[in-house]
Structure 1
Amino acid sequence: MRKFLKYTGYSILTFVALILVYLSCAWVLSRLTVSAEKNAARQVTIYIKSSSVHTDILLPVKSNLKDWSKSILYKHTRTADTAFNYIAFGWGDKGFYLETPTWNDLKASTAFKAAFWLGSSAVHTTYYKTPKEGKNCVKLVISAEQYQRLISFIEKSMQLNNAGAPIAISYAKPYGNNDAFYEAKGRYSLFHTCNTWANNALKACGQKACWWTPFSTGIRYQYGQK
């Protein structure tokens, strides 16, 4: 019995220590800044939209470089409304996206699979009118070349069919009237979360970012959000 209690105690202490190391690394590395590229032209307006748990990147629906409505089809949304200027992209665990519309719906099995690379991923897209800057929405103006890199990053995150188009998840229940889900590449984990993906997207287009962050608070810190 003593050995059992001893090993149980060691296991609990090890688990707690690992959590503390993880949280400490997340805090420190999210406060270290990857600087934005200097002297870039100001040509394309994008936005960073974040909450306390998640980060989306908002892009213009149509530009000289990309018309997202030709691949992220309006008909995949409930209303098929075409009167939108921006589209948000977020990457994450497919189980979380499809099975957990609210935190009350979260299952231990879903969280476990997501944390340890056991699930697949999805891209969540949402059409918006003109976004409004505020506490949860930061405006960035980047160069056309930087935007092209961002387009490439997002496209490489999505699975494509034989025709080269993103694969809509037809059975997914949308959160609202103007959003849809698509099959994505990669696996979610404790070390590569939805916010890590968004942070990597900012790095890809030469914008200020964290060295690494699993939490939205890291990105919010870098852009002065509270």
Structure 2
Amino acid sequence: MFFRIKYLILALTLLNGYLYSSSTKIAKSDRNNFYNDDSVKIYVIKAEWHTAFLFEQNDSLIKQIPAFDELKNFNFVDIGWGDEEFFQNPSDDIYLGAKAILYPTPSVIRIAGMISKIESILRWVDYCVELTISKTQFIELCRFINESFKFDENDNLIITSKRPSGAVIFYKSKLKYHLFNTCNTWVGKGLEQIGFDIDTGGLITAEQLLDELMEIGKVLKVE
């Protein structure tokens, strides 16, 4: 009788775990979230003014986000979104900064290639949080990113500028940037779309984003 009760408890425990893992939302309180065996590591980084997603470069990533083909020889690529003028010409110009947040402005997507390993990248970022997601979530996140690009009449990506090194490229985005829709909001919305329980309604600053990330990921660095 004792063994029957023991096995019944075990079966109920396993069933509860299965039902929890089938939830469409990933609870913030569960730092060790359920993931498929076939998982992907991604990162969210902050450097100076902007936050971005960081991916390890590979053929699967290029297949999902064709813009990354321009940087296929790099080990890592980061992708962020921001005001078109300020993002491409970062400075201490108060006018540009104010213009970017006071009313809706055109925006761009910035991708940058890095030959460094993650350990080296950690040296220069302000913070970095590692997230482990399923392949399904990865594909959905890539879809979210792709939907942020603007295309021309021939369905081609629109490059607005390139750095001389060729390691940084800016693309036209169809989104509008403003005080309540910042690069931090964009990253949060991407994670929210793939199932993470993130409230993006009032998510504006990098610090607010970090608070959310600390609940769902592994902090590799924070200053």
Q: 1:40 to 1:218 in 2, by over 3 A?
A: same
Counterparts of residues 1-226 of structure 1 (less than 5 Å): 35=28, 38-41=33-36, 43-51=39-47, 53-64=49-60, 66-67=62-63, 70-74=66-70, 82-98=72-88, 100-103=89-92, 106-108=93-95, 110-129=96-115, 130-132=117-119, 134=122, 136-169=127-160, 172=161, 174=163, 177-207=166-196, 209-211=198-200, 212-222=202-212, 223=214, 225-226=222-223
Cα deviation, residue 86, structure 1: 2.3
In structure 1, give the amino acid aligned to 2:141. Answer: L
Pairwise CA RMSD: 2.9
Kept in 2: contact 1:56–1:89 (CA 8 A):
yes
State the Cα distance separating 1:118 from its structure 2 match. Answer: 4.1
Bigger share in strand:
2
User: Aligned-pair distance for 1:145?
Assistant: 0.5
Tell me the TM-score normalized by structure 1.
0.68
Q: Using a 3 Å threshold, how does the CA distance of structure 1 residues 53 and 209 change in structure 2: closer, same or farther?
A: farther
Q: CA deviation at 1:34?
A: 7.0
SS at match of 1:148: helix
Q: CA deviation at 1:168?
A: 0.8
Identity %, equivalent residues: 24
What letter is aligned with 2:193? A
Residues 50-72 of structure 1: per-residue CA shift (max 9 Å, x gap):
13532110123324464367434
| Displacement of 1:181 | 0.2
Aligned-partner SS, 1:121: strand
Which is further off, 175-184 or 132-141?
132-141
Which runs of 5 or more residues in structure 1 are unaligned?
A: 1-32, 75-80
> 1:145/1:73 Cα in 2 relative to 1: closer, same or farther (>3 Å)?
closer
Higher relative contact order (CA 8 A, sep 6+): 1
Q: Which amino acid aligns with 2:42?
A: I
Counterpart Cα distance in 2 of 1:114 and 1:139: 29
| Residues 154-203 of structure 1 deviation map (CA, whole Å, 9 limit, x = unaligned) | 0011101234332111xx35386511100001111111111111111121
Determine the structure 2 residue equivalent to 1:28: none
TM-score normalized by structure 2? Answer: 0.69
Corresponding letter in the other structure for 1:215? T
Alpha-carbon shift at residue 220 of structure 1 (Å): 1.9
**Hey, what's the Cα distance between the residues in 1 that align with 2:44 and 2:182?**
16
Q: Do the aligned residues in 1 keep the contact of 2:82 with 2:182 (CA within 8 Å)?
A: yes
Distance 1:180 1:112, change over 3 A: same
